[in-house]
A and B are shown apart, each in its own frame.
Chain A
Amino acid sequence: MASFYGFEPNNPLFLGTARYPSPAILADAVKRSGTEVVTVSLRRESGGEGAGQAFWELIRELGVKVLPNTAGCYTVKEAVTTAQMAREVFGTPWIKLEVIGEEDTLQPDVVGLIEAARILSDDGFQVFPYTTEDIVVAGRLVDAGCEVLMPWGAPIGSGRGLNNLYGLRTLRRHFPDIPLVVDAGIGLPSHAAQAMELGYDGILLNTAVAKAGDPPAMAEAFALAIRAGRLAFEAQPIEARDMAAPSTPVMGKAFLA
């Protein structure tokens, strides 16, 4: 299993905590999936001293690691400030860094992302950057101190799966030793399995589970798919080919008269 800043989860599903029908259903989804890390957005739940305390308590009671995020931040300054607040609230150096660059696609502002990643890494944070599959950007993020990369599959909440399979495969090959997590755009367990089959180390998702008709069942489906995909990767899949290759060889076949 990959190591995320020294943490080696058995289950590489990272689950977002927003927009479930209720905290009780969120808790069920976490339990049924066996997820060990949940992401929590700071900005939308805050609002004064201890105002979001009850929700924090519910998250803490889940007994899983918390990866705070800077969801909805559009500037470096905003993201850095949110990260600092999150470190204080959750007492963790982990931060899922989002610097959004475009409102319709919510795609990352990779220039701002690299700058914010450097500032936060220098400040002792362990940064999980939400980025694209661009390998040059990925290299800059590693230079900035990131030991994990989180490329998108597709725009946040779109449920489209892996938009650029070629790009994601290339990223994996360029960074064989950096833990890679597909973050955003996953809609179906088969998308998650596909990413794991490519050799990715984890999947981060929220909407696909939270907005499913039965979130706990969908969370379990994702956990199973991720396990299947990982196992398939380790089992070394065959290469696709253009022509049929008979699975039963003709040579050596017994002749039955």
Chain B
Amino acid sequence: MAAASTPYEKMNVAVIGAGVVGLTCAAELLGRGAHVVVHERGPGIGAQSCSWYAGGMLAPWCEGESAEEPVVRLGQEAACWWERHAGGVVRQGTLVLAPSRDRVELGSFGRRTSHFDEIDREAITALEPDLAGRFSRGLFFREEAHLDPRKAIAALAERLVAKGGVIHFGSGVEAADLDADIVLDCRGLVARDVLPDLRGVKGEMLLLRSHEIGLSRPIRLLHPRIPLYIVPRDDGLFMVGATMIESGDRRRISARSMLELLGAAYALHPAFGEAEIIEIGTDARPAFPDNLPRLIRRGRVIHVNGLYRHGFLLSPAMARMAADAALNPQARPEMLHDLAA
């Protein structure tokens, strides 16, 4: 091989899990010269990973409304990383709106966040012509971005393989079975068997198709109990998400949740009342008690987990830190927790 100069070239890294965390870690390590093999128990890239149901908002400042400081700071790496490794990043910002009766929520949201402009009816119309006249005030986070998670994951996996990475599907392995130098355990909620602090936070989402309305950027619709968002995708698709329920359940979708999601879409624009329902989905996000992600090193195994509702937003920063920890045993990246092997 031509570029044989890095000291890490001979390191063999096994990654368990081909969700957003596993694939970003694999791409990051491959980029730094490691030999990478990904083991995924599912038959392909897809619905066994909770990232399949993600919104794909790269919105670090908006997340600051409820998330702690590391999420806002580390999340700022995301848009560039995804642009470089998968493409398809849309940099159109985020628009935060509230129905007139809940307008006080805009003030609270603004006090907890930064990097936005307060905009009026005309500015909202200029950004999103199809919402003309429907909202009189909003917050515009112009530096934020979004992507289509399913396309991003597929593109990431494709480039990984093109660059010499290996992905084994249908490969339900245990860390102990693998004789790699470093094993990255990126199994999400499944890793509860070894990470007892991990819990599931259920989310439900739906995909709608409408050609009557077009949006250029994710819209967050504030409401005191159920803040929801709508993310435009190609071909008239809209992702509406997502509930947050303290439950590890990954299957059941409640009528109430669908009412809330559809109600939010309809409140944004009545055209959504005529939209076609393409898919309803649910999964549980893996989270630690502080809802912050962790790297946990146990000898040669490094767990990368607990990205909660921030899979696409935080996986680039977590992959960077996981790679630092994998390639250098002395490295102490900030989200690292060392445990006895």
Contact = CB atoms under 8 A, between A and B. Distances in A.
Interface of A: 21-25, 27, 44-48, 50-55, 58, 157, 207, 211, 213
Interface in B135-162: none
A157 B290 CA distance: 24
A52 B202 CA distance: 9
A47 B202 contact: yes
A213 B245 contact: no
Given A58-B199, A213-B111, A51 B249 contact: yes
A58 B289 contact: yes
A53 B201 CA distance: 11
A42 to B, nearest CB: 11
Contact of A54 (B68, B199, B224, B252): B199
Nearest to A43: B256
B246 interface: yes
Main secondary structure of the interface of B (DSSP, over half): loop
B111 A44 contact: no
A52 B112 CA distance: 29
Given A45-B247, A53-B248, A58-B289, A21 B66 contact: yes
Contact of B249 (A24, A48, A58, A211): A48
A54 B192 CA distance: 10
Contact of B290 (A25, A48, A53): A25
Contacts of B248: 50-54
B68 A21 contact: yes
Contact of A55 (B224, B246, B252): B246
Nearest to A211: B108
Nearest to A28: B290
Nearest to A57: B199
Nearest to B111: A213
Contacts of B287: 22
Contacts of A22: 68, 287, 289-292
A196 B197 CA distance: 39
Given A58-B289, A213-B111, A48 B252 contact: yes
14 contacts: A21-B291, A22-B68, A22-B290, A22-B292, A44-B245, A44-B246, A45-B245, A50-B248, A53-B248, A54-B198, A54-B200, A55-B199, A58-B289, A157-B225
A157 B102 CA distance: 12
Given A21-B68, A58-B199, A157-B225, A51 B291 contact: no
Contacts of B252: 47-48
Contacts of B66: 21
Nearest to A25: B290
A195 B202 CA distance: 37
A115 to B, nearest CB: 24
B67 interface: yes
A53 B251 CA distance: 16
Contacts of A50: 248
Shortest Cβ-Cβ A-B pairs, 8 listed: A54-B199, A22-B291, A51-B249, A55-B246, A47-B249, A24-B290, A51-B247, A47-B247
